[in-house]
Chains A and B, each alone.
Chain A
Amino acid sequence: MIRPDAELLLDIQDLHASVEDKPILKGVNLQVKAGEVHAVMGRNGSGKSTLSKVLAGHPAYRVTGGSVRYRGQDLFELEPEERARLGVFLGFQYPVEIPGVSNLEFLRVSTNARREKQGEEELDTFAFEDHVHDKLKVVQMDPAFLERSVNEGFSGGEKKRNEILQMALLEPVVAILDETDSGLDIDALRIVAGGVNQLATEDNATLLITHYQRLLDEITPDYVHVMAAGRILRTGGRELALELEQTGYDWVDQELAAQGAA
């Protein structure tokens, strides 16, 4: 939902970033306001996932230029955990398996870290169990997954549901979902997308990173951005995604070539 007077949550200006000294992001500009859903599309290697990891603070990525302000605050001054506590959430493309760490305990510790920052009371083991069982409904997840180790032996779909469950618990202000639709069959996709839709309010925003239109059939974006060569090449409404589905990305090469020639 686009509202001109909504709070500017994320303000990305001319962002440059490298991994292992290889420049990946080469001048990303993007503004995200409360209530909005943005889709970032593009080919493999265009920089989509790098953008999400830089925003969350992955140590392997180095910011080499530009700025990101989150609710007015310099995002890069904050440690990854501090960003999460303040409401920045990254849904992982490949959620990490952590043997020996119980999913329930992990969810409780992270939920409490966020709650503490929001000035809310910490939940003890019993209160948290009630709380998490409520949230399980958002992604129709079997409570048995709470007793297992974090993501260990989960199928692709179960891992993604677990990501959205974490999103439901952490109540982020800006949720960045990195290819949440990858590896999902159509039923799982509907459940995950349904979860994201349930969690979207006029006070938060969602940044969907995806290859495919099919996710956008389930979650309607307000803006669609096409990334190429580390920048946002074109921005439009949801019709841009439909156009991409029809025409593919060949025009991207032409446009990049034209820009290179100019």
Chain B
Amino acid sequence: MASSVLAPVQERGRAALEQLGLPNRRQEPWRLTDLKRLAAVSELPASASPLSTSLPASLDGVTRLVLNGFDDPLAGQVLPEGITALNAEELEQALGHTLDRCGCAQVWPVEFNHAKAQQILALRVRGRIGPLELVLAAGAGLNATRVLLLLEERAELELMQVLLAEGASAHSHVLEVHLGQEAQLRHGVLATADGASSLMAHLAVEQEPRSSYALTSVVQGWNLGRVEPRVVQVDGQAETVLKGLAVTGAEQQLATHTAVRFDGPEGELDQLQKCLAGGQSHAIFNGAISVPRDAQRTNAAQLSRNLLLSDRARVDTKPELEIVADDVRCAHGATVSQLQDDELFYLQSRGIAAADATALLLRGACQEVIAQLPAAAQAWRPLERVMESLAP
């Protein structure tokens, strides 16, 4: 679809990649990244096969669109009233606008996506729309996808995005969302894999005043994972909620880099990022919040809570607050701990065996985020998936 629009984008991406080269450890955002794995991802051929397993049925009333890198996601699809696909002209105008606004130009994963993406889904949303499910499935090779969503003024959408992969495959995904004034997007991301595949997901969100964006992301099981939500409140006065759960095991490495910028006053942010790191895995969180001079009366809270499930797992967490405005409330905190003996003992003293008590506590730790996913997530059994990955 829209290859005429994508051709110049690809051209630009290739040029940028040539100029940037592969990231290196001297660059702060890549300091902790396993660059060998990144290089392997960059060399994957384009995906041409679907997943070997079939997808579970979606819940009643949920519209499902599937992006596998080669089939047209809209073929044979009746879109709910209020959602229309952008035509080539609209697309040309809108594409990349939010990325630029969110400071994603010359960012390697984005330029990589530009160079590789052959598929784009671009939708305009008007009014209040029933739940939409977007499934990104990588069978083998690189599934490079790009999605653009324009929510008009007062539009309301519940979007459940599912990223699945198996074997030596990878996702390169870039999502751009523009939220008009008073628009509301409840956005769930469930990205799960079996430990062999890799994920690079860039979520750029631009919020007009009085809009509301709530992201709940659950990411688990990627050999190399990098998830980067970047939100800009263009004139402040908007509400952003980011709830993230990152689960790593074996030798996986998963980095979550969030960036929220308030380009106007009275913006709000409520952020919780949780990591559960087991095996010899490495979980990374970098949470940037930028409050420039104009962003007076900003109210932001960021909490990073990390649980080490083994002695060899590693967590790096870094809040990065840049506050210039003087009349603001910005709270942040980070904890790294192991399962608490007192919690375990309390459960054991009620007859619950140590292993079951551990499972119950982990379930609780995950549920705090998973419970926030949109209802459509239930078709994918998110809690069960995560718990299975945590089973000893």
Contacts and interface: CB of A to CB of B under 8 A. Distances in A.
Interface in A195-253: none
Interface string A68-105: 00000000000111011100011010011011110001
Interface stretch (B78-86, B180-188, B294-302, B357-365): B357-365
B349 interface: yes
A84 B357 CA distance: 14
Interface in A105-129: 105-106, 109-110, 113-114, 117
A137 interface: no
B363 A81 contact: no
A10 B265 CA distance: 66
Contact of B346 (A79, A98, A99): A98
A261 interface: no
Contacts of A81: 348-354, 357
A81 B341 CA distance: 14
B316 interface: no
Contacts of A57: 345, 348-349
A49 interface: no
Q: How large is the interface on A (under 10, 10 to 19, 20 to 34, 35 or more residues)?
A: 20 to 34
Contacts of B366: 100
Contacts of B367: 100-101
A95 B350 CA distance: 12
A109 B353 CA distance: 10
Contacts of A83: 349
Given A81-B354, A106-B360, A99 B348 contact: no
Nearest to A56: B349
B343 A113 contact: no
Interface in A137-163: 149
Interface string A38-53: 0000000000000000
Nearest to B353: A81
Nearest to A88: B349
Contact of A113 (B341, B342, B350, B364): B350
Contacts of A58: 345
Given A109-B356, A109-B360, A149-B364, A98 B350 contact: no
A84 B351 CA distance: 5
Contact of B350 (A79, A99, A106): A106
B46 interface: no
A183 B348 CA distance: 25
Given A81-B354, A106-B360, A109-B360, A98 B348 contact: no
Contacts of A258: none
A149 B353 CA distance: 20
Most chain B CB within 10 A, of A89, A96, A105, is at A96
Interface string B312-356: 000000000000000000000000000011110111111111101
B92 interface: no
Contacts of B341: 59-60
B349 A98 contact: no
B194 interface: no
Contact of A100 (B350, B352, B364): B364
A100 B354 contact: no
A105 B363 CA distance: 12
Nearest to A113: B351
A17 interface: no
A166 B352 CA distance: 13
A101 B361 contact: yes
Interface of A: 56-60, 79-81, 83-85, 89-90, 92, 95-96, 98-101, 105-106, 109-110, 113-114, 117, 149, 166, 170
Given A96-B346, A110-B352, A117-B351, 5 more contacts: A58-B345, A96-B342, A100-B366, A101-B363, A113-B350
18 contacts: A57-B348, A57-B349, A81-B352, A81-B354, A81-B357, A84-B348, A84-B350, A92-B349, A96-B340, A99-B364, A99-B368, A101-B364, A105-B360, A110-B347, A110-B351, A113-B350, A113-B351, A170-B350
